[in-house]
Amino acid sequence: MRSWLPFVLAIAACGSGSDNHCVPGASIACSCSNGVMGAQICDDTGRLGVCSCDAHGSSNGPTPPAPPPTTTPPPTTTPPPTSDPGGPMVLSFSASSSTLTQGQSITFSAIVTTPSGVDALAGGTLATPDGAGTYGPFDAGTQKGAFSLVLSWTQMNQTLPIDFADADTRTFQAVFFDTSGRRATAAVAVTLSCSGQPACSGTCVKASEVAPKECGVQTLGSSKAVSCNTVCAGYGLACIPYCHLAYGYSDPSFNPLLAGQADYGNIGSGGFADFFDSCADVPPASDTNPETKMSFPLGSLTCCCH
């Protein structure tokens, strides 16, 4: 879904009069020497700074490094069970659910034995596959060789922060030992999700909230008419529709959460901006201002990436 606003709204951020004062912190578009759009920031004295074009690779500033090649994350694989010679063997290991969200808990259950009998078992722990983090020890059940551990979303986050754009499939590895120090492992995968929304340090970000920058959310630009899915993937990131991108507009009611913003033309010549709430939307290479009927080529595209 697209919406648009004329750049004249951005001009409203500046006061009238010959002193050209503007609202401190406001940002308005400006034209760079290579034809793309940059931005001017209003400083604390109420005056506009120089046109910054670095984010769009203008000759007015240093050219940013090329984005890394697009990569597709490898599918999550669960490590196969292992057992030291003569040591314990994990007969079964499972989770009570394949998915989990904030506020829920999950139970991991295992049946373990040894060639010498279950009395030779020393116990076990639930850990990350690399062994760097431990979620906690298994509790022995009333049946010999049976173990379980109840783990909450909050406890998972304490061991390994839960941060993702839309979901994360996490592998949990059970490690059991016998009294001689020999061990056996088994793993199971659980998908952590927030109903398609991001998670930040274990907290699901609601559709009405801005995704926090400290959780890896950033805005990235392009001068090409491509979707924000494509722009973010070029940096090895994912697009999310949770950024405030309508910078510099005086109307406080127009402050939506967006996936992208496409700028056409510049201030003073009928320029305007298109806004996108879908990461799959592709801005046109040129577009027409609905009010002035003037057409402009795409100057810049800004996307919300995680």
pLDDT per residue over 229-267, tens digit each?
999 999 988 898 888 876 545 455 566 788 899 988 876
Cα distance between residue 88 and residue 177, in whole Å? 7
Residue with tokens 């059970």: 174
Q: Where is average pLDDT lowest: 16-25, 209-218, 221-230?
A: 16-25
The CATH code of domain 82-200 reads 2.60.40.10
Greater pLDDT, 247 or 177? 177
The SS3 of residue 246 is coil
- pLDDT at position 20 over 50: no
Residues 6+ apart with CB under 8 A from 300: 36, 37, 55, 56, 221, 222, 223, 262, 263
Instruction: Indicate the residue type of 96.
Output: S
Cα distance between residue 60 and residue 294, in whole Å? 27
pLDDT per residue over 115-167, tens digit each?
989 999 999 999 999 989 999 999 999 999 999 999 999 999 999 999 888 88
Residues 6+ apart with CB under 8 A from 16: none
User: What confidence score (pLDDT) does residue 10 get?
Assistant: 38
Of the pLDDT bands very low, low, confident and very high (cuts 50, 70, 90), residue 67 is very low
The SS3 of residue 128 is coil
* Percent residues over pLDDT 90 in the chain: 46
Of 112, 97, 113, 206, nearest in space to 153 by CA: 97
Paired tokens of 110 = 């295992």
- pLDDT at position 27 over 70: no
Cα distance between residue 266 and residue 30, in whole Å? 6
Q: Are 202 and 268 in contact (CB under 8 A)?
A: no
The residues that bridge with 245 in the sheet, in sequence order, are: none
- pLDDT at position 65 over 90: no
Residue with tokens 């984010």: 55
Cα distance between residue 10 and residue 27, in whole Å? 8
Of the pLDDT bands very low, low, confident and very high (cuts 50, 70, 90), residue 78 is confident
Greater pLDDT, 203 or 23? 203
Q: Where is average pLDDT lowest: 14-23, 50-59, 79-88?
A: 14-23
Of the pLDDT bands very low, low, confident and very high (cuts 50, 70, 90), residue 76 is low
Q: What are the domain boundaries of the chain?
A: 2-68+206-305, 82-200
Cα distance between residue 238 and residue 240, in whole Å? 7
